[in-house]
Structures are given as structure tokens and as C-alpha cells.
Structure 1
Amino acid sequence: MGSVDSQMKIVNGEAGYVLEDVPHLTDYIPDLPTYPNPLRSNPAYSVVKQYFVNVDDTVAQKIVVHKDSPRGTHLRRAGPRQKVYFNSDEVHACIVTCGGLCPGLNTVIREIVCGLSYMYGVNKVLGIDGGYRGFYAKNTVTLTPKVVNDIHKRGGTILGTSRGGHDTSKIVDSIQDRGINQVYIIGGDGTQKGAAVIYEEIRRRGLKVSVAGIPKTIDNDIPVIDKSFGFDTAVEEAQRAINAAHVEATSTENGVGVVKLMGRFSGFIAMYATLASRDVDCCLIPESPFYLEGKGGLLEFVEKRLKENGHMVIVIAEGAGQDLLSECLNEQDASGNKMLQDVGLWISHRIKDHFARQNKMVLTLKYIDPTYMIRAIPSNASDNVYCTLLAQSALHGAMAGYTGFTVGPVNGRHSYIPFNRVTEKQNKVVITDRMWARLLSSTNQPSFLNPKDCNEAKKEEAPPTQLLEGDNCNDTS
């Protein structure tokens, strides 16, 4: 391989190969001792061939290439290494959950505790109570395989969570005072930004502490990774709300069911729930602008669909149509997210008012908001498996001495990703992409775009042969 950029840990190789590497403890603590990986003598892995990941294994960020494409950006492959940088007896790990609730949090906690114990013989794991502030404001919880045995069957997080600011130096003081040397941080992009700052302070102090992030967002808006945990469960649970709306709508004359789903800035849950359901007539997401009045507007479409079918189901993501709401709030929550107004309630009122004014037809509208029901349930089978892989990938990385990284699947292979890559932008539905076209053809709804919006979307659209980066879950064809 060629040159290495020490600041960003970029490794350049032949044929346009670029490795965006993650930091390692030896970057700032030279001559650290290594130990044979305890998995060598673990009976569970005695039959597995090539269990250890080759030190040079990397994962390509793009897998659709042309014959003359450069090899492109790669990330370090996750998995157990032959040598580890922590003796099992010296490991003192801690786990913290931050931000909003999401199905699968308890599964990740359980698998970090059980993985450290069963695979690496680690018996000192602390749970930090109540998010980042819990490092210096609350008591800790001792976590053992027995304590966490059944927690994956419950929603929420047994550690509690919180949003908002924290004192980085106080957190690192607490880590130092307690003798913690592995920190597992589960949370969304704001949490991962916080984890990056904590890593920088640990590095500045020269501490032998690995910081590993596990990305969490129910909205699936974290870039680079294929999808976030809890997303499958959210889409599945959303089906129940959509089905209820469909039953209500079909049971009365001119029945309309409106379902508001999560998605502050990204409409993935609404899009996938709509595609999975097949009972939805119209899906509205933040990425695709729409308008109500006039020719080609939403109200005209509602009228048309009711005349055709006698009933209608609308799914709307919570961040859609915010530009149309008159009294725009500029308030923010503790995490710095803009406080959104209830667009589902607003659009329900607008539809009812329109038909009451027109006096053309009487309609019965039912509005369903299952947001907190979806967030609070335990994860389903596929998310449970995924959470297990995330947790094990994170602890393998920490044991191998990597730090300042987050973990996730990239094109189906778990990888270690630098913090800045998952916090630099948000993953969004690309409305000039085939997946959104599939939805429009499935619901047979118009795009509601003004000609001006169409022109802008086309400007952003890539040429047909350009290879897009970072849109792994937008188009699976």
C-alpha cells in the first residue's frame, strides 16, 4: 500500500484504492503489549475455520462498478483479530445509551455483556444510568450475563436514556476515576458526535481506553451503513397501524385513514411501510414536497381516489409538509433537533375543512399516531440477529485495540467506520431513485411536485452511469 495520511488515517493503494481507516490505541500509545486472542481456546469456535479476520481485510463502500472504475473507498472489516490489546482480567467496560428509544437497545446491551463474558472472559461491565450525564450524575449498574439474560424481550433500555448536552471533561474524569478502559456508546448521530469528542479527550490525555460506537436511529437516516437496527421492527409494527386505518376507512362511506409515522428528515419508515402494506393510497415524506390546493394538489387527489374507491389511506412521515404549516416553530429539543408540529393532525383538519367547505361529499376521517407504540416494542427476529452482530463486532474491535470508531454493515459486511463518516450528513430517500419510483407505481399516486421542483430534482439527479456513494439502502436492485 502507498501513502498514509496520519490526521485522517487515509491509506492510498494501487488502482485508486482508498482505505478510510479508524484510529488505534497504538497511534498515541506506542509499544503496547499484545496477548493471544482467548477465542483460540474457546470451545465454541474450535470448529470454525478462518475465524480470525485477516489484518488487511477491507470492505468496499461501493459494489456496483464499471470495468474501468477505480477501486474506490474501503473500510476496515470488523471481526476478531489473532492478537488483542487487553488482557481479559484488566478489562473494565461500560455501556451507555443516549437519545430516543428504539427497538433493539436491550438486545445490544445484552450481547455486549454476554459477548465480553463468554468470548473474552471479561467480568467487569458497568451500565451507565441515564445517558451521558449518568457518567457523573447518577449511579452505575453492574451488568452480568445473569442480570441481562431476559432484557431483549423488553422494549426501551434497562439503562435509561437522556438527550442533550454533557460535560466531556467530567465524563472522561469519571472514566479515568473508575478505571474504565472500554466504552460502548449506543446512540444516533448526535450521540456519535459526542462519542467523537470523548475519544479526542481520551486521546489527548493519553489513556488506554477504547471508544466504540453503535449507531442507533429508528429513522434509518445514518449514512454509510446499510440500515440501522430497529428499522425492520418499526416497519413491521407500522403495518398494524396502517391495517387499522384501512379497516376504519373501508368500514364507512368515503372513509379516510391518516397514519403518521416517524421520520423527522428521512422518510424511510413511511416508504418501506407503504411498500410492505399495499393498503396505502398516498405516502408523503420530507424529501418529496407536496401542496394541498389547486390542480394536481393533494386535496384533488383525495377527492379523485374517494370517487374511485370509496375509501383512502394516507401515510405521512412526521417531518413531511413542515414548510406548509403556518405557525412555524423555531424551538429545539435538548438534542438540538427542531421541534416539529403535528403534521398528521394538521393535514387531517385541512382535509376535513376542505370537504366541509366544498359540501361535495361527506367523509369520515380517522387519524392514527402510533409513534411511541412503535418505539417502545422489543425488536423482532431479524433485528435481534442484527443487534447481536453489531454488539459482537464492536467488542471485537475494542479488544483488538481499535478506538474512535462506529460499527455497521456496509454492503452486507460489518465494518469499522470513522466517527466523522456517520455524522457528516444524513441518509435520505432519493426521490429521483428507483425505490421511490417503485412506491409511486405501487400506490399509483402523483408525485405532487411542481414543475419547478421537478427541474430542481433533475439538476440533482446523477447521470445514468454515475455511481452514487452512501445510498446503500435506497436502491436494492
Structure 2
Amino acid sequence: MSCYNFSIPNLGAAKIQSPVLLSKIDGDLVANYVQDDDLIIYNVNARPGEAISYKRENLIEKAGPREMIYFDPSKVHAGIVTCGGLCPGLNDVIRAIVMTLWYHYGVRRISGIRFGYKGFLPEYQYSTINLTPDVVTDIHRLGGTVLGSTRGGGDRVAEIVDSIERMNLSIVFTIGGDGTQKGALRIAEEIERRGIKTSVVGIPKTIDNDLSFIQKSFGFETAVSMAVEAVSGAHVEAHDSINGIGIVKLMGRESGFIAAYTALGTNDVNYVLIPEVPFEFEGENGLLNQLKKRLAARNHAVIVVAEGAGQELFSDSNLVDASGNKKFGDIGLFLKDKISAYFK
């Protein structure tokens, strides 16, 4: 069994009574505080007769309000930043943070950092947004992020921490994907090196659902529901043509969750190509030959392909985007050209 270290460092002993009033008595029909020794087993698989002992660092801390907290809410200045690509649910997350800090903990200074990590850098001169319940009350009805977002900037760690010091931020919430959280880790390490009492809280954002230790990331369901509509349209086009083939390329990076769940969400998909399962073009079991058989039998076909599928079919490229993510070859156009040439 793989062992992961789930330890979460803290800034010091929690000595302040939380303003969130909960119970410490089990069974009194009032929600209880979460204790620091309330832990969750990551791997729930078991075999009869198997004895397993767990180390503290290999167990996941349970989320929820503690009885004692570290920061004095009346003195807290919290910052929220959204980075990377847009994702459904970003404004919901911003709103939830603000409402929880304001109404549950009594925090009155909450700043929105505009346009990702670049909002920390003086050269861009982006002003912050004072976030209050009145400001965020309806933002969950809007797409995108009210704070704006950009890629890059997370490697300028010293300058970002300089800004955090100047703003006297107690807590920084970083909402973003892989590049954002790598930047957040570097920022946290620099904060620790300087001995600053600031907490960095990473909130993972991945529409692709490619994150271990959780069942579903925010934005994933919306992506699948929109993809199902696209597939439905592609099926109509393919079905109503002579030997029509519909190709729908979906996002997902190196994971095929959106593609696979889209196929499960509709009965119109005939072939699903995902990064986790290599596929062949040529030969008896190759995609082209299977398409030929499908068209002979049903006169149409629909292919759903994840953007990261079939990347081994392209020449290696070292190109990356501003967040450091590898740029993929366009598997959608690749399939279109290969299939068109085969049936020409």
C-alpha cells in the first residue's frame, strides 16, 4: 500500500477560542467541533485477518471548525487570489470563503487579489478589491472569476512575499491548479524562511477532476454536462450524413475523466479515447478498421477524445504555457486528417 505524508504544518499553538459555537458532547443533536485527532484512513480497502497500524502522518486530517484557533479574527487580514484558467465554480468558492470568514468568524478585512499572482507584483499596479458580503452575494450567478485570472507570475516568490508582508496578510487563499499550487508551496516555504506568521491555504481548482484524494473537483460536473450537449449535436450531424463521423475533443490534460463521464452520460458515443489507455490506428484492432466496420453496420459514428490522448503519436515538444504546463498536439485535428485520408 502506498503511504503518503498528509502532515499539515501550523504556525503555532491555537490559544484563541473560536467564535463558532458548537458542541463538545456527542449525541446532543448539536454539531461538534472537529478535534485534531479526528483522522481519516486514505486507503479503505481491507483483507480478512490483515492487521494495519497507521502513523499520524499517513492519515488525513478531518476538515471542520476547531474549538481553538490561532488567529484573532478581529485582527485578521485575509487575501484571496484566483490563478490559471477559468473554471465553473470559482465565484462560488470566493463567495463561500468571504461569507464564512465574515459571518462565522467575524473577519472584516478580506482583500481580493486581482489577476492571479501578478496582482501581487507592484509593476502591474492592480488594485485590490475589498470583499464583503454585499460585494459577493450574487457572484455565484456569474461565470469566470470576479477577481480576474492570469497564468504565470508564481515563480517570482520573493516579490510576492514582499507584497504579502506589505499588505500584512494573515491568511492567503490560493485558488488554482497544478502551477498555482506549486507557486503556493514556494510562497509558503519563503514565508516560513522569513519567519512570517502568515498561513497559505491552497484550494485546488481542476475542471479535469485529475486530483487524488478527492472524489470530485468543482467545475467537473458542469464540464461533463456541457460536453454531453456537444456530443448530442455531433451525433445529430453524424447520423444525418452519409457515413458521418463526429469527433468531439474534450479537455482533461493527462486524464480522461471528462471524456469517460461524458460517454457514460449519453448513449451516443461509440469510441472513447483517453490518455490512460493507448490506442492503435492501424491493424485489425486499430481505430480505422473498427470505424470501417462501424460505418458498414450503422452508417455513422461518434468519437469522444480527451485532449491528452494519443500524444505519443506526435513528435516530442518542449513547449509549455505560462503556467509551465506542456502544450499538447491537437489530437482532434490529427484524428480528422487521418480518418479523412483513410476514407478518401
Q: With structure 2 as the length reference, what TM-score do the two structures score?
A: 0.91
Q: Which amino acid aligns with 1:57?
A: D
Q: Does 1:205 align with 2:187?
A: no
Q: Which amino acid aligns with 2:139?
A: I
Q: 1:36 aligns with which of 17, 39, 55?
A: 17
Q: Which amino acid aligns with 1:107?
A: D
Q: Does 1:49 align with 2:55?
A: no
What's 2:135 paired with? 147
What's 2:238 paired with? 249
What's 1:85 paired with? 70
What's 1:23 paired with? 9
Give 1:25 shift. 0.6
Q: Does 1:127 align with 2:112?
A: yes
5+ residue gaps, structure 2: none
Give 1:71 shift. 4.1
Q: Does 1:59 align with 2:40?
A: yes
In 2, are the aligned partners of 1:189 and 1:222 still within 8 Å (CA)? Answer: no
CA distance in 2, matches of 1:331, 1:193: 19
Secondary structure, in 3 states, of the residue corresponding to 1:315?
Answer: strand
What's 2:336 paired with? 348
In 1, are the aligned partners of 2:6 and 2:59 still within 8 Å (CA)? Answer: yes
In 2, are the aligned partners of 1:19 and 1:76 still within 8 Å (CA)? Answer: no
Shift of the 18–349 alpha-carbon distance from structure 1 to 2, 3 Å rule, reads: closer
Give 1:330 shift. 2.8
Secondary structure, in 3 states, of the residue corresponding to 2:231?
Answer: helix
Q: Does 1:331 align with 2:319?
A: yes
Give 1:50 shift. 3.5
Shift of the 19–348 alpha-carbon distance from structure 1 to 2, 3 Å rule, reads: closer
Per-residue CA distance 1:246-266 (angstroms, 9 max, x = gap)? 111111221111100012211
CA distance in 1, matches of 2:71, 2:225: 40
CA distance in 2, matches of 1:338, 1:193: 15
Secondary structure, in 3 states, of the residue corresponding to 2:79?
Answer: strand
Q: 2:52 aligns with which of 70, 74, 84?
A: 70
Give 1:276 shift. 1.5
CA distance in 2, matches of 1:142, 1:108: 16
Per-residue CA distance 1:256-285 (angstroms, 9 max, x = gap)? 111000122111111111112121000001
1:426-465 counterparts in 2 under 5 A?
Answer: none
Secondary structure, in 3 states, of the residue corresponding to 1:277?
Answer: coil
In 1, are the aligned partners of 2:22 and 2:33 still within 8 Å (CA)? Answer: no
CA distance in 2, matches of 1:86, 1:273: 44
Per-residue CA distance 1:453-476 (angstroms, 9 max, x = gap)? xxxxxxxxxxxxxxxxxxxxxxxx
Q: Which amino acid aligns with 1:340?
A: F
CA distance in 1, matches of 2:95, 2:307: 31
Give 1:55 shift. 2.5
Secondary structure, in 3 states, of the residue corresponding to 2:20?
Answer: helix
What's 2:208 paired with? 219
Secondary structure, in 3 states, of the residue corresponding to 1:306?
Answer: helix
Higher relative contact order (CA 8 A, sep 6+): 1
Q: Which amino acid aligns with 2:84?
A: G
Per-residue CA distance 1:85-119 (angstroms, 9 max, x = gap)? 12221010000011111111110001001110111
Shift of the 53–88 alpha-carbon distance from structure 1 to 2, 3 Å rule, reads: same
What's 1:97 paired with? 82
CA distance in 2, matches of 1:58, 1:348: 50
CA distance in 1, matches of 2:182, 2:294: 45
Identity of paired residues, percent?
50
In 2, are the aligned partners of 1:262 and 1:269 still within 8 Å (CA)? Answer: yes
Secondary structure, in 3 states, of the residue corresponding to 2:143?
Answer: coil
The two structures, once aligned, show a CA RMSD in angstroms of: 1.9
What's 2:185 paired with? 196
CA distance in 1, matches of 2:187, 2:266: 42
Q: Which amino acid aligns with 1:174?
A: S
Q: With structure 1 as the length reference, what TM-score do the two structures score?
A: 0.66
Secondary structure, in 3 states, of the residue corresponding to 1:224?
Answer: coil
Secondary structure, in 3 states, of the residue corresponding to 2:283?
Answer: coil
5+ residue gaps, structure 1: 1-16, 27-31, 357-477
